[in-house]
């Protein structure tokens, strides 16, 4: 960027020469001042990027700095006022740009964000006043030693934390905080692969995740323990209430780019995605089949002084946005009243339509472990209990659909 401004200064010099303006010492001094002001501006801006995420603190300093240069050169009386403003046009544009960035930054921060990496402290086992589902009676299963380490998808943490609270001894949990982990789906699969978790609670693995275990000679065991709906949501002011599977495929392949094509407003569609190998992204890939998914929207997110990473953007509830997640997460854990769920093929995602299988994107979620051939008694006992009436009661009380109810339909 600094190189660009130096080129601009060179162009100004050429223009002055072409107009046969005599390059006097005042003009040279003014140009040097221009270079210094630009360098100072970008130095301030870089410092801001390192130590802050907004420019509101820096802007007053830039304005004072800019006005000081103008006042100094005008009071110098050795260069015309008109030329002073001409020479300082570039830093002036920089400051106007900073104002525009500050306004846009404020606008972006006001837009509600939905992330699958929320605060889960309110679901911690045995914590005071936690929001976990509880049994009406003591659990029939009580494990006292060799407790399986649990991990899983963010959206499923409330249910497997409820399992642990019912079955694990409180003292043992308090002495070992790493018995019930909370992570995203990709991290949970990594922990299972590396032996850092014994059971994970997730949607079915992606093709690349399956390959990782196969390449390491590991046999994954998937046990269905409940059902959930994969949902799509938009801003509640969006006129579109229903989309088809072909519409979804069109949006996420980049073929459908405007809501007007779906009888909505004349707005370009902002289609947000989730990171590769996350449970929700794997669900989208399943819907897309062999259709290539377009490149996801990305944003630069500063994580530390050390650098900037490039990642898939979290869903921001713009009026023209569309995103996706799982029903329980989007309606119970986030509880954002500024979004609305879309019906798919005319069927709205609800407990009833998930139970009877009419909602198109209803699917099982699993307790997953590595089957080594050796008998792992506590893992098997724990999963057997999860499939019992008590375990399924916690699934239902948490907000998911118990797996056993599927046999009734």
Domain boundaries, the chain: 2-110, 115-409
Q: Tokens 């109810």 appear where?
A: 405
Rounded distance, CA 51 to CA 56, Å?
13
Is residue 130 within 8 Å of 124, Cβ to Cβ? yes
pLDDT of residue 75: 57
The CA distance from 73 to 160, in Å, is: 69
Positions of the chain with pLDDT under 50: 1-2, 51-54, 300-311, 405-409
Please write the tens of the pLDDT for every residue from 133-166: 999 999 999 998 889 999 998 889 999 999 999 9
Terminal Cα distance for the chain, rounded: 65
What per-residue confidence (pLDDT) applies to 82? Answer: 58
- For the segment(s) 115-409, the CATH number from 3.40.50.720, 3.30.420.340, 3.40.50.1970, 3.40.190.10 is 3.40.190.10
> Measured on CA atoms in the order 34, 84, 96, 61, is the torsion positive or negative?
positive
Q: 3-state secondary structure string, the chain?
A: CHHHHHHHHHHHHHHHHHCCCCCCHHHHHHHHHHHHHHHHHHHHHHHHHHHCCCCCCHHHHHHHHHHHHHHHHHHHCCCCHHHHHHHCHHHHHHHHHHHHHHHHHHHHHHCCEECCCCCCHHHCCCCCCCCCCCCCCCCCCCCCCCCCCEEECHHHHHHHHHHHHHHCCHHHHHHCCCCECCCCHHHHHHHHHCCCCCEEEECCCCHHHHHHHHHCCCEEEEEEEEEEEEEEEEECCCCCCEECHHHHHHHHHCCCCEHHHHCCCCCECEECCCCCCCHHHHHHHHHHCCCCCCCCCEEEEEEECCEEEEEECCEECCCCEEEEEEHHHHHHHCCCCCEEECEECCECCCHHHHHCCCCCCEEEEEEEEEECCCCCHHHHHHHHHHCCHHHHHHHHHHCCEEHHHHHHC
pLDDT for 91 equals: 58
What global pTM score does this model have? 0.67
* Model pLDDT, residue 102: 62
For residue 205, what pLDDT is reported? 92
**If 0-12 CB within 10 Å is exposed, 13-18 middle and 19+ buried, where does residue 81 land?**
exposed
The sign of the dihedral angle between the CA atoms of 344, 348, 354, 358 is negative
């Amino acid at each position: 960027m600094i190189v660009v401004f130096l080129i601009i200064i060179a162009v100004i010099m050429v223009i002055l020469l072409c107009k046969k303006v005599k390059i006097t010492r005042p003009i040279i001094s003014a140009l040097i001042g221009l270079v210094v002001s630009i360098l100072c501006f970008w130095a301030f801006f870089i410092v801001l990027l390192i130590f802050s995420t907004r420019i509101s603190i820096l802007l007053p300093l830039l304005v004072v700095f800019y006005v000081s240069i103008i006042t100094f050169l005008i009071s110098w009386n050795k260069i015309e006022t008109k030329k002073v403003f001409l020479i300082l046009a570039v830093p002036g544009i920089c400051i106007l740009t900073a104002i525009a960035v500050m306004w846009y930054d404020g606008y972006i921060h006001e837009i509600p964000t939905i992330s699958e990496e929320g605060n889960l402290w309110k679901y911690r086992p045995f914590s005071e006043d936690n929001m976990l589902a509880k049994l009406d009676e003591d659990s029939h299963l009580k494990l006292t030693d060799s407790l399986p380490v649990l991990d899983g998808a963010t959206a499923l943490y409330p249910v497997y934390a409820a399992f642990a609270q019912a079955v694990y001894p409180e003292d043992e949990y308090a002495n070992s905080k790493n018995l019930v982990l909370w992570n995203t789906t990709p991290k949970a699969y990594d922990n299972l692969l590396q032996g850092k978790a014994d059971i994970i609670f997730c949607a079915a693995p992606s093709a690349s995740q399956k390959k990782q275990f196969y390449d390491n000679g590991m046999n994954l065991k998937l046990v269905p323990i409940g059902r959930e709906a994969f949902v799509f949501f938009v801003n509640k002011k969006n006129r579109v209430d229903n989309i088809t599977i072909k519409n979804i495929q069109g949006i996420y392949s980049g073929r459908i780019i405007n809501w007007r094509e779906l009888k909505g407003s004349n707005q370009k569609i902002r289609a947000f995605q989730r990171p590769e190998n996350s449970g929700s992204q794997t669900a989208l890939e399943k819907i897309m089949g062999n259709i290539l998914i377009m490149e996801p929207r990305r944003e630069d997110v500063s994580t530390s002084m050390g650098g900037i990473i490039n990642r898939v953007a979290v869903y921001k509830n713009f009026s023209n946005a569309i995103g996706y997640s799982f029903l329980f997460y989007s309606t119970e854990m986030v509880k954002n009243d500024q979004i609305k769920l879309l019906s798919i093929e005319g069927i709205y995602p609800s407990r009833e339509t998930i139970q009877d299988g009419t909602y198109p994107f209803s699917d099982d979620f699993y307790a997953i472990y590595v089957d080594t051939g050796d008998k792992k008694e506590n893992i098997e006992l724990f999963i057997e209990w999860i499939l019992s009436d008590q375990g399924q009661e916690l699934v239902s009380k948490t907000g998911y659909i118990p797996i056993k109810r599927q046999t009734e339909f």
